[in-house]
Amino acid sequence: MPRAYLRLNHGLTQAFQLIRGLVDGLWLGLASRRVLYGIDAAFYASQGQYVAEEYTRSGLTDWENAAVSEYFQHCTDIVVTGAGGGREVLALAGNGRRVTGFEPNEGMVTFGRTILEGRSDASLLVAPRDGWPALDATFDGAVIGWGSYTHIAGRRRRVDFLRQTRSHLVAGSPLLVSVYTRPSRTRYHRAVRWVAQPLRALRRGAPIDLGDGFAPMYAHHFTREELAAELADAGFRLEVWRPRPFAHAVAVAVDPLE
Ligand SMILES: C[S@@+](CC[C@H](N)C(=O)[O-])C[C@H]1O[C@@H](n2cnc3c(N)ncnc32)[C@H](O)[C@@H]1O
């Protein structure tokens, strides 16, 4: 009996993953980029924490703190992308450090500015999704805000985003990026690709990669190797990869003459 129950439980979990993969594949195959952005905006609008003062003042998480104290101690001008309501911006600013954050969700930026008001060492800008705002500045450290890289749909767009980031950094600058992960081949992601790939091809849309899916907004789930390759294509060298408690990497902006 107990074994029969465990087998049933496992079978149901697998079946559910498959069904979810087929349904999400349909959405990913048919949805325009505008719809994907809309799902993302609606999801984050429903998450009150990103416009809550207590959360915004809660500081860096332990894993962020460890990465920052190991790799960012000499940084004086840091950029935070996907900055939400400014949690990382606020935590990093001060003690001689200036921090510029940007974020596509205007509601979060409006809220964050009320928290940063009066500070000369921290600012928050509205940015286009997947991109940088017009910013004529160079930084010596970059934090891709918690989880935001995972929401940039498509490898080409993600690498373009990293290249823009690289163009604003001096050589040798550290970059912190955090992502959702997956084991190399999951049933869910294979089902998503199986359905979405032909639909995208019919619509002449951007290709689907294994790892694309919803969580519940668009999210690419990475392997370490995929993230290292995207970083390398944009001029960064992976220094450290820590899969837990929230997967993240620290990379370094490579000197083009190296
Ligand atoms: C998990 S929240 C983290 C926010 C903030 N960094 C923090 O830790 O409080 C992820 C952020 O990514 C942003 N985001 C979602 N899609 C994005 C995209 N395509 N390009 C840039 N940022 C995006 C969201 O608006 C949201 O602010």
Encode pLDDT of 135-189 as tens digits.
999 999 999 999 999 999 999 999 999 999 999 999 999 999 999 999 877 899 9
Nearest CA to ligand 1 atom 4: 84
Any idea what DSSP says for residue 131? S
> Is 145 near ligand 1, meaning CB less than 6 Å away?
yes
Residue of 148, 160, 164 with the most ligand 1 atoms within 8 Å of its CB, for mutation? 148
Average pLDDT, the chain: 95
Q: What is the pLDDT of residue 126?
A: 98
> Is 148 near ligand 1, meaning CB less than 6 Å away?
yes
pLDDT for 93 beyond 90:
yes
Q: What is the pLDDT of residue 154?
A: 95
Give SS3 for 196.
helix
> Is 162 near ligand 1, meaning CB less than 6 Å away?
no
Q: Is 147 within 8 Å of 40 (Cβ atoms)?
A: no
Q: What is the pLDDT of residue 184?
A: 77
Q: What is the pLDDT of residue 183?
A: 87
pLDDT tens digits for range 185-206: 789 999 999 999 999 999 999 9
Cα distance between the two ends of the chain: 63
Q: How would residue 68 be classed by pLDDT, with cut points 50, 70 and 90?
A: very high
Q: How far apart are CA 10 and CA 8, in angstroms?
A: 5
Mean of pLDDT values over 90-107: 96
Q: Is 234 within 8 Å of 159 (Cβ atoms)?
A: yes
pLDDT for 64 beyond 80:
yes
- Which residues have CB under 8 Å from 104's CB, separation 6+? 82, 126, 127, 128, 129
- Taking the CA of residue 55 as reference, the ligand 1 atom at the shortest distance is 9
32-182+223-253, CATH topology level: Rossmann fold (3.40.50)
Buried residues in 79-117 as b, exposed as e (16+ CB within 10 A): bbbbbbbbbbbbbbbeeebbbbbbbbbeebbebbbebbe
Nearest CA to ligand 1 atom 25: 105
Q: How far apart are CA 220 and CA 177, in angstroms?
A: 13
> Is 88 near ligand 1, meaning CB less than 6 Å away?
yes
- Taking the CA of residue 105 as reference, the ligand 1 atom at the shortest distance is 25
Domain range summary for the chain, segments of one domain joined by +: 32-182+223-253
pLDDT for 257 beyond 90:
no
Q: How far apart are CA 92 and CA 210, in angstroms?
A: 35
Q: Is 250 within 8 Å of 240 (Cβ atoms)?
A: yes
Q: Is 61 within 8 Å of 169 (Cβ atoms)?
A: no
Q: How far apart are CA 101 and CA 122, in angstroms?
A: 8
Residue appearing with tokens 């949805």: 31
pLDDT tens digits for range 14-50: 899 999 999 999 999 999 999 999 999 999 988 899 9
CA–CA distances in Å: residue 73 to residues 165, 177, 235, 243 = 20, 17, 22, 22
Residue appearing with tokens 């990379």: 251
Beta strands 77-81 and 141-144 are parallel
pLDDT for 209 beyond 80:
yes
Strands (E), 72-121: 77-81, 98-103
pLDDT for 254 beyond 80:
yes
